[in-house]
Structure 1
């Protein structure tokens, strides 16, 4: 794969120590910290001037709530990924941020490994979207015409999976950021497939799977995980899962997994 330019990162946090630490972690061959702000007052002008690709945004700022800023950024600059920084263990914070379109979360106190993993997931998504866009649709002549609901608390993961499924002719009719919302969307729309991440706030994927399988057995559930754990697979299979997608996503592997599930619909 061709090497990409350094990814431009803007840090917004009122804690100087956090900004210094993040800058030290991120100024490397892959990332470039192009600016720092200690509040949200000049955020819009900074975005216009610096053109960041990723904004690391604290959820508690002195002048304006970080979630409000997240909402404004997503509305005005949908192409910019926003990674939320939080020291709160309140699950509602992550839930609300996911609902508003956060690409990921950096939880204080954070490690270098955690920060890099969160930002690499976002960068991987962008790379895979470019690959997917260049691929020839293998189902162009005989698309599946199936419908899907996807559930993942990461906007970047939902975005990539939606793109891959659309390329297959699968219509994503609903996106959920937690297991409870996924159950509600499946109950409402009764899709052919539901893709559920194992780790989600409010209700995890395994709990959502059990409810969906009981209430809507016709919906084929595909579980999403970054951990290829035999124990998790066994639990999910026993609860009714029909397939698995392993993170990080690659278009070819996702297509193969979903194809096996959809073959039973005889729509290819």
Structure 2
């Protein structure tokens, strides 16, 4: 540098261009149950399956949460809710989320309820309290939307079996 050259400040370094994310988006789940202990148990269980989980205690609260939840892949629905039946909520959620895995979780082990739930788009009919661990194991092995779609399964005290309408 000669005596007549002005001193120029160093230009700030150019930040690197953002790289597209290669990690898959975290899938979300919604648990709808008006019994706080049941809701909390299921939320914590699904969190262990590496899902981002929210809980709701009414059908309307569930609908409000569902439409604002990103990557909603699994919805666990109790049959008896204070403001609507689980099957009517299931029908609404199926219309909003055609690709989500819908699981009816109820103590009511009734053939007519199973038929109604599956006719409205239910993927898994889980009889409480049996089956939560089986659902957890299946989700750990194959998340919702994976190659095993969990289509029309019954999980109860006898284990897991396909629904045969």
Aligned mates of 1:67, 1:122 — CA distance in 2: 25
Aligned mates of 2:49, 2:128 — CA distance in 1: 24
Aligned mates of 2:103, 2:87 — CA distance in 1: 11
Q: Which ranges in structure 1 are unaligned for 5 or more consecutive residues?
A: 130-154, 159-176, 178-197, 203-268
- Of the three residues 79, 92, 102, the one matched with 1:82 is 102
- Of the three residues 40, 43, 47, the one matched with 2:62 is 43
Cα shift readout 1:90-113 (whole Å, capped 9, x = no counterpart): 111111111111111222113552
SS of match in other structure, 2:38:
helix
Aligned position for 1:157: 151
Asked if the contact 2:49/2:136 (under 8 Å) is kept, the reply is: no
SS of match in other structure, 1:49:
coil
Aligned residues: 136
Cα shift readout 1:138-183 (whole Å, capped 9, x = no counterpart): xxxxxxxxxxxxxxxxx7437xxxxxxxxxxxxxxxxxx9xxxxxx
Asked if the contact 2:49/2:140 (under 8 Å) is kept, the reply is: no
Aligned position for 2:4: none
- Measured on the aligned residues, the alpha-carbon RMSD in Å equals 2.8
SS of match in other structure, 1:157:
coil
TM-superposed CA distance for 1:86, in Å, is: 0.8
SS of match in other structure, 1:57:
strand
Structure number, greater radius of gyration: 2
Asked if the contact 1:103/1:122 (under 8 Å) is kept, the reply is: no
What does residue range 250-261 of structure 1 map to in structure 2 within 5 Å? none
Which has a greater percent of helix?
1
Q: Which ranges in structure 2 are unaligned for 5 or more consecutive residues?
A: 1-21, 154-160
- TM-score, with length taken from structure 1: 0.44
Asked if the contact 1:91/1:201 (under 8 Å) is kept, the reply is: no
What does residue range 180-191 of structure 1 map to in structure 2 within 5 Å? none
Aligned position for 1:7: 27
Runs of 4+ in 1 over 3 A off after TM superposition: 2-6, 117-122, 155-158
